[in-house]
Amino acid sequence: MKIKLTKVYVDDQEKALGFYTETLGFTKKADFSNGPFRWLTVASPDEPDGAELQLALNDNPAAKTYQKAMFQQGQPAVMFFSGNIMGDYERIKARGAEFTMPPTEVTGSTIAQLNDGCGNVVQITQLARW
């Protein structure tokens, strides 16, 4: 088995697409609409055929409640791994992102957190073994 897709709920798909592509540097992979439903995914330019992240509209009460609770608790909705967290931090910050936690050493890794502007905390992690 392989992991090919995971999702993050967003309150605005177009705004999320801008953040995840222009700010973080991912590539739009799929963008299809069927009536009001929009299937929108991004992928890492380093692994274009790897796992995709669906930017799923939080248009149902369960999704909204989950997303809001995770955000209020400061829990990351999605985590990305980096081989150079300081470089990624500086690049993303220069593109206008506001970090709620700069790169901080914790047990076994260094993490940084930022708000995606669409209702989520995003975490970037660099493992100590990298």
Domain of 37, in residue numbers: 5-127
> pLDDT digits over 36-51, tens only?
999 999 999 999 999 9
Phi then psi for residue 57, to 5 deg, are -65, 130
**What does the pLDDT read at residue 125?**
98
> pLDDT digits over 47-74, tens only?
999 999 999 999 999 999 999 999 999 9
* Six token digits for residue 43: 């992928």
CA distances from 77 to 38, 55, 115 (A): 20, 11, 10
Q: How many domains does the chain have?
A: 1
Distance CA 106, CA 103 (A): 10
> CATH number for the domain including 100?
3.10.180.10
Q: Is 126 helix (H, G, I), strand (E, B) or coil?
A: strand
